[in-house]
Structure 1
């Protein structure tokens, strides 16, 4: 299969675009090599999901957007995502293919923190980007990772020096409203030894985007003793296919905390993985997703243990209504030599409609004896006895169902350490469930 058959763009166009953006020669070469790879690689094989049947050709082309002079120029549908004035001091906004707003406080600069767009970091810090770009996720893994490597634009680069603790959360907004514009951000976070940072991003869309493909990758590198809190809420409409790989490389005694809200209306492939490479490394992942209409979701959370005494905890909750379907995968892999590792996972699916279909797949792959591992999974409908009990106390049926749903989601939402993310997720859940 030729590259042209996969994507309506050729090698020369990729090279010319890279050169026009004054990217280093090594990045131009990586893009070109990745596009060639895309012509020979297959799509990823997903558990019980035929992604090859999804509309995956609408990648768009790179289009330059006008820079915003004020956040008041943001589209109305995104302004509610920026309520904390402190966050607006450390903010990156990408609209379609372009970065349209960047703000980084003097305090960050004094600490040596780099918080800028990835495309800007290529110019100002090329060697730093080169050392880490596409090292956690490989361009050769499948067709999607290869296409992303060739086509990414905008993105975020966050570098936290050794022993630096960033108090305020850093935020990014990724917005799309043009079906002809490429929308494939790349987020690269590097936390040096014993540093800590909280990063939050939101994905939002507006208008009929004709099955536009969001093909994004997140790479997080945690050096020994580092702590990274990463929260991401995706709220793209039904005309966007959302494909996201998020992966962290976690070294000795480092901690990676994920909070992911899949609040999209279109088809979703979400893969969130922690590679626990160091002894004493830790990962915690909390995932919420809500399916509506005929939406198809394939959500995978994974922890791979290499280090001794490493630990992982994964909790996923999915609520499905209408004729939506969800495949929820939890994968704990403990490699040979990872003695003392502890991997726990829970996946639960609640179906609100007889036409909804959910599947929870807990998977334990253990290659070492001296470890602890456990899983729990359930798929079911709302318990009518619970509804009846609440209604017998004078609560309406609609309110009773709402209480049951939030009780189901509470083990994830209530323990999210960022209050604003809790509130955001609750708003999006209410909107998706029509409450």
Structure 2
């Protein structure tokens, strides 16, 4: 089955697609409402980036996917699968999930790990309760379009007091530029639970034939006392526009850790927000990015403090090459009543070309007196003295720049607690620096 999608999104098209997929009536209606809203809302307006000038109409054609074994998937997918992930792994190819596996041990504990389309049918009570609560579908044209058209996706539920020691992993893979590719991740960690989720969002060689849009959203619900680590690495081809939204809602004494590798090759909108509703809630975000060629990138990290004694840490490091342009925003908002809150952020941009552009914008919005907050930001070129020193030791200029870049990113990469993510980031960094 295939269904042509377009912008603006129509209620009729969305309802027909949802009914053909045999989705529950409540989800069909949610999609239809979002389609109506998408016709009147405007695209988001990130600082100094006009995404409305990008080719956002290349949403593709919905193409149903067949289930497959790992051995039947493209070699590009098999190469990414970590050795320890086959028992707790989900793979989406283009418009739908093609492989999903959860260990018997975790299944017996009540953990749910499946694609979101399946979960909407099999676990409707949970999905309907939380879907589009962290990200309102009527926030803007992007959220409404995504709510109308999302496909495949990931659903994770970890019951109260259950700790998942092995990361749950997903590969979200696009190798057909004409197929719609719009995964939605919904992760619910119940009270005093613990889970780590890792996904890799990648393109295959066969997916570079035409313009495409990857629009994704992640909603993370962290209940009281729960701990969630959410790691994501994006490496899509330069023909793909990557629009990625992430939101976490964090309750009392709960924590969210974001690890984000924005190593995409095309235009990018990346927006990650933690809403610290609970007293004693915490958020820690680590973001790295490398821009090459003529990329336009908007990378925003946010923390909104409502809870007393809440704490947020944000670190972003970006490297710009060629004619790449990046706007790096860090936003810490401490609301009235969030006494004893603490918010710290750092944005650093390293430019390797006189034609590259990097803006670091730290923003503190404080509505409460009894708090602490701070920021640091820098934008600069490669240090000529460092280059000279390394070249005087017999190292080529290209290798000297490479070593300086690795040293610039190392404080973030080395602080990532997941070895598999560190290794994947290092491979992609090497690839981007060699491009």
Runs of 4+ in 1 over 4 A off after TM superposition: none
| Aligned-partner Cα distance in 2 for 1:410–1:208 | 31
Worse-matched range after superposition: 107-116 or 204-213 = 204-213
Give the deviation of 1:362 after TM superposition. Answer: 0.4
CA shift digits 1:142-167 (9 cap, x unpaired): 00000000001110000000000001
Q: Does residue 1:71 correspond to 2:70, yes or no?
A: yes
Give the deviation of 1:9 after TM superposition. Answer: 5.0
Identify the residue that residue 389 of structure 1 maps to in structure 2: 389
Alignment check: 8 A CA contact 1:6 1:39 kept = no
Identify the residue that residue 82 of structure 2 maps to in structure 1: 83
| Aligned-partner Cα distance in 1 for 2:109–2:135 | 28
Correspondences of 1:40-189 after superposition (within 5 Å): 40-68=40-68, 70-84=69-83, 86-189=84-187
Matched residue SS, 1:122: helix
CA RMSD of the aligned region, Å? 1.4
Identify the residue that residue 355 of structure 2 maps to in structure 1: 355
Identify the residue that residue 380 of structure 1 maps to in structure 2: 380
| Aligned-partner Cα distance in 2 for 1:131–1:119 | 15
Alignment check: 8 A CA contact 2:9 2:145 kept = no
CA shift digits 1:57-113 (9 cap, x unpaired): 010121112221x212222223221132x2110111111111111111101111110
| Aligned-partner Cα distance in 2 for 1:319–1:80 | 26
Worse-matched range after superposition: 205-214 or 26-35 = 205-214
Matched residue SS, 1:405: helix
Alignment check: 8 A CA contact 1:188 1:220 kept = yes
Matched residue SS, 1:415: coil
Give the deviation of 1:400 after TM superposition. Answer: 1.5
Identify the residue that residue 197 of structure 2 maps to in structure 1: 199
| Aligned-partner Cα distance in 2 for 1:62–1:398 | 44
| Aligned-partner Cα distance in 2 for 1:394–1:209 | 42
CA shift digits 1:372-430 (9 cap, x unpaired): 10000000110000111122233222222111101100110010000111111111011
Give the deviation of 1:32 after TM superposition. Answer: 0.3
| Aligned-partner Cα distance in 2 for 1:307–1:392 | 54
Identify the residue that residue 299 of structure 2 maps to in structure 1: 299
Worse-matched range after superposition: 22-31 or 35-44 = 22-31
Give the deviation of 1:209 after TM superposition. Answer: 4.5
Identify the residue that residue 279 of structure 2 maps to in structure 1: 279
Correspondences of 1:392-411 after superposition (within 5 Å): 392-411=392-411
Worse-matched range after superposition: 75-84 or 347-356 = 75-84
CA shift digits 1:349-368 (9 cap, x unpaired): 00111110000000000000
Unaligned runs of 5+ in 2: none
Identify the residue that residue 268 of structure 1 maps to in structure 2: 268
Worse-matched range after superposition: 125-134 or 73-82 = 73-82
| Aligned-partner Cα distance in 2 for 1:429–1:97 | 28
Identify the residue that residue 311 of structure 1 maps to in structure 2: 311
Alignment check: 8 A CA contact 2:266 2:295 kept = yes
Matched residue SS, 2:62: coil
| Aligned-partner Cα distance in 1 for 2:273–2:297 | 17
Identify the residue that residue 328 of structure 2 maps to in structure 1: 328
CA shift digits 1:245-286 (9 cap, x unpaired): 000000000010000001111000000100000000000000
Give the deviation of 1:11 after TM superposition. Answer: 1.8
Aligned length: 430
Unaligned runs of 5+ in 1: none
| Aligned-partner Cα distance in 2 for 1:298–1:211 | 19
Worse-matched range after superposition: 11-20 or 26-35 = 11-20
| Aligned-partner Cα distance in 1 for 2:346–2:362 | 8
Alignment check: 8 A CA contact 1:209 1:240 kept = no
